[in-house]
Structure 1
Amino acid sequence: MASLGVGNLGEFLREQRRQARLSLRQLADAAGVSNPYLSQIERGLRKPSAEILQQIAKGLRISAETLYVQAGILDERAEAGADGERAATVGGVPDAVRADPHLTEQQKQALLQIYDSFRREHQQEHTHHRENPR
């Protein structure tokens, strides 16, 4: 079977799976896809739908948007916010926390909650300054 030009996605998935210390079978089970199908995706032989990518992202505990960009479904530039900050970069922190094999699930959740609270606080300050300029 010829490669469908999704090798970078497959390589990325394989690396994410290895960083998460998951076997192919474990990720397939977590994502609700068959082991052979996931193997074909990793080898660049199959191009998964956005729905399958979302399921795989959940299994890897990374953002689906990260996989959409890798698969060419979503343009990284489309991820930029109004202030020019790239969402892909912002998504990097939660993805890194979720992928860190040295943290427990409880530690990951605590860090993500703290990070989210800082982001919300910054957003509120940014909104306040726009609404009430000096």
Structure 2
Amino acid sequence: MRLPIFDSEDEPEVSMSPLIDCVFLLLIFFLVSSMTKVKSKDIDVDLPVSEAAVKMKPDDKQAIVGLDNNGSLYWDGQPCSANFLMEQLRATSISQPDRRIRVDMDKDAPFGRFVEVMDACQFYNLSNIGIRTYDESYNKN
């Protein structure tokens, strides 16, 4: 049995198209997974409408405090107690006092709960606070 002998002109080639396909698939995967990370902190609330709101880009480094229509509290999209929220605000004031805090509040939430959250932020000297309002482009499903 004779083995085929390659001429010096016939060198094996590596096709680059499967490698390019893999790179694009990885790029798409990381883009999609990073987009869902920002959305996962949102809670299901009916946001108030504002005519004078200042539009800001979503920031994945901001802390999100949520209040639903029953007055339940959320920290970064996860349900929490008032004590846990106070601990998180205290830790934030120590480690990152300039960190932005976004309040997502249902328009039917008890106003007294909102006042408690704002009082806690003031107590811990957190002043970079924003209230999320309804935005047609961000809230469309």
Q: TM-score, normalised by structure 2?
A: 0.27
Q: Which has the higher contact order (CA 8 A, sep 6+)?
A: 2
More helix by share: 1
Q: TM-score, normalised by structure 1?
A: 0.28
More strand by share: 2
